[in-house]
C-alpha cells in the first residue's frame, strides 16, 4: 500500500472538496468586499452570501430567509436553545426536553440553562440509540417550550425518527429543534414535511470549511438576537459575514444535494464492506448503534478487552485515522456518554472505535483497514491481562 494514510474520521471533520475551495478562493482575493458595504465590491459579496443562503435552504426545503449563518454547529445549537428558552421566559414556561446522547453543544448548554432556572428532561434511548416516542409524549407537559433531539448521532450514527418527533411536537404545540450537524447533506431532511422549527448544521462535516455553519429558524418564529452588534443576519447574529466561509458552505451544501443519492449509495456499500469485514475477522467485536437506521458512513464498534486510546495510537501508526468516543472529547478518559446512554458497561465502552467513511474513501481504503485492524486488535489483546479468547 503506497498510500500514506487512510482517513476514516469523517464524522469528526472532512477534507474540503477542491470544488468548494475553488469557489471560496476569489472571496479572499479580488472579492474581499464587506457584504454590508453599498459599493459594487460589497454588493458582490452580499450577492454571494445570498446565493449561498439559497443553496443551504434548498437542501432542507426551507426558504432562504429562514437560514442564518453562524460560526458552526456549536453556535447554532447554543442559539436554538438559549434563544428559544430566553425568549419564552416571560411567559413562565421553563421546560426543555432533550436526550442523554446529544452532542456536548446541546448537553452543556442545557446544564447552563438549568443554572439559570430552566428545567431539563433528558430522555433515555434504547440499546440502538433510538428515542422512544411514547416516553417523549409523556415528558411533554404544560410548561414545555422546546424539544431538542438530534437528527443522527455523531458517535454511533443512529438516525432518530425525526418526522414522527416533529409531528408529535407539532400536535402538542411545542417547538422542535434538531441538531442535524451529522445528518445534513447525508440523509434527506425536509423541514416542512418533518415539522422542524429550528435546525443546526455545520460546514466542515459536508466537505466544506470549518468555522461556518447555519441555523434554520422557521419563518415567524421570534427569538432574541444571539450576538448583538451591527445587525447582520437580520439582527439575529451580528458580526461581519465570513464571506469565503459562507460561500464554501453554500457550495458544499449544493454538492451534497446534487450528489447525495449517488454518494450515499457508494458510501453505504463501503460501510457494509467494512462492518461485515470487521465482524467476520475480529472475535468479540460488536457493532454499536442501529443495525440499519444509521448514517451512510458510520461504522462504530466496541472490542472486548481493548482500550480505545491504545487502539487509536496503534492504528495511527499503521496509517489509519479513526476515533474513540467523540472526537470533541478525545483527551478525556471518561467513557463516552453516548455508549453509556445505550447501556454499555464502563469497561466495554472504553473499547470503542468509530470509523466514519466519506466522499473521498475508496474500497482500497476499506481493505487497508481490514488488513491492519485485526492485527492491531490481536496485538493489543495479546498484551492484555483481561483478554480470554
Q: Is 328 a catalytic residue?
A: yes
Residue 154, classed as helix, strand or coil, is: coil
73 lines the binding site for ligand PLP (CB under 6 A): yes
Task: Figure out which of the listed residues 328, 340, 370, 378 binds ligand PLP, where binding follows CB under 6 A.
Answer: 328
DSSP alpha helices (H): ranges in 303-362? 308-317, 337-341, 346-349
Grid cell, residue 150, equals 438530534
DSSP assigned state of 160? P
Report the C-alpha gap between 186 and 200 in whole angstroms: 14
Q: Smallest distance from the beta carbon of 13 to ligand PLP, in angstroms? A: 8
Q: Smallest distance from the beta carbon of 369 to ligand PLP, in angstroms? A: 21
Q: How many residues bind ligand PLP (CB under 6 A)?
A: 14
206 lines the binding site for ligand PLP (CB under 6 A): no
Q: Is 116 exposed, middle or buried (0-12, 13-18, 19+ CB in 10 A)?
A: exposed
74 lines the binding site for ligand PLP (CB under 6 A): yes
103 lines the binding site for ligand PLP (CB under 6 A): yes
Query: Smaller CB distance to ligand PLP: residue 150 or 189?
Result: 150
Which residue matches cell numbers 418527533? 165
Residue 98, classed as helix, strand or coil, is: strand
How many other C-beta atoms can be found within 10 angstroms of the C-beta atom of residue 32?
A: 13
Task: Figure out which of the listed residues 66, 69, 72, 248 binds ligand PLP, where binding follows CB under 6 A.
Answer: 72
Task: List b or e across 45-84, with b for residues whose CB sees 16 or more CB atoms inside 10 angstroms.
Answer: bbebbebbbebbbbbbebeeebbbbbbbbbbbbbbbbbbb
What x/- string results for residues 123 through 152 when contact with ligand PLP is judged by CB under 6 A? ---------------------------x--
160 lines the binding site for ligand PLP (CB under 6 A): no
179 lines the binding site for ligand PLP (CB under 6 A): yes
Binding site for ligand PLP (CB under 6 A): 72-74, 77, 103, 105, 150, 154, 179, 181-182, 202, 213, 328
Hey, which residues are catalytic here? 328
Amino acid at each position: 500500500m503506497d498510500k500514506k494514510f487512510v482517513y476514516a474520521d469523517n464524522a469528526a471533520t472532512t477534507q474540503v472538496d477542491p470544488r468548494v475551495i475553488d469557489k471560496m478562493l476569489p472571496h479572499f482575493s479580488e472579492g474581499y468586499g464587506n457584504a454590508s458595504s453599498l459599493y459594487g465590491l460589497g454588493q458582490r459579496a452580499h450577492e454571494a452570501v445570498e446565493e449561498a443562503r439559497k443553496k443551504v435552504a434548498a437542501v432542507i426545503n426551507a426558504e432562504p430567509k429562514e437560514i442564518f449563518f453562524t460560526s458552526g454547529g456549536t453556535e447554532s445549537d447554543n442559539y436554538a436553545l438559549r434563544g428559544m428558552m430566553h425568549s419564552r421566559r416571560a411567559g413562565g414556561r421553563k421546560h426543555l426536553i432533550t436526550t442523554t446522547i446529544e452532542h456536548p453543544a446541546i448537553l452543556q448548554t442545557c446544564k447552563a440553562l438549568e443554572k439559570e432556572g430552566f428545567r431539563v428532561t433528558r430522555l433515555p434511548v434504547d440499546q440502538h440509540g433510538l428515542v422512544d416516542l411514547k416516553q417523549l409524549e409523556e415528558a411533554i407537559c404544560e410548561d414545555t417550550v422546546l424539544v431538542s433531539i438530534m437528527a443522527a448521532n455523531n458517535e454511533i450514527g443512529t438516525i432518530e425518527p425525526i418526522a414522527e418527533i416533529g409531528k408529535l411536537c407539532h400536535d402538542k404545540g411545542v417547538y422542535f429543534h434538531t441538531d442535524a450537524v451529522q445528518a445534513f447533506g447525508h440523509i434527506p431532511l425536509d423541514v416542512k414535511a418533518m415539522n422542524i422549527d429550528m435546525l443546526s448544521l455545520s460546514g466542515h462535516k459536508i466537505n466544506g470549511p470549518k468555522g461556518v455553519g447555519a441555523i434554520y429558524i422557521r419563518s415567524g418564529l421570534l427569538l432574541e438576537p444571539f450576538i448583538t452588534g451591527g445587525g447582520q443576519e437580520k439582527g439575529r447574529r451580528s458580526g461581519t459575514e465570513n464571506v469565503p466561509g459562507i460561500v464554501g458552505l453554500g457550495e458544499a451544501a449544493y454538492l451534497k444535494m446534487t450528489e447525495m443519492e449517488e454518494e450515499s449509495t457508494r458510501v453505504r456499500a463501503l460501510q457494509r464492506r467494512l462492518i461485515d469485514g470487521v465482524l467476520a475477522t475480529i472475535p468479540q467485536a460488536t457493532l454499536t448503534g442501529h443495525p440499519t437506521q444509521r448514517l451512510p458512513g458510520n461504522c462504530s464498534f466496541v472490542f472486548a478487552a481493548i482500550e480505545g486510546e491504545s487502539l487509536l495510537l496503534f492504528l495511527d501508526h499503521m496509517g489509519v485515522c479513526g476515533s474513540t468516543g467523540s472526537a470533541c472529547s478525545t483527551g478525556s478518559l471518561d467513557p463516552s456518554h453516548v455508549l453509556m446512554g445505550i447501556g454499555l458497561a464502563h469497561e466495554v465502552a472504553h473499547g470503542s472505535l468509530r470509523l466514519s467513511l466519506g466522499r473521498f474513501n475508496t474500497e482500497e481504503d476499506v481493505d487497508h483497514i481490514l488488513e491492519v485492524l485485526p492485527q492491531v486488535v490481536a496485538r493489543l489483546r495479546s498484551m492484555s491481562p483481561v483478554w480470554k479468547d
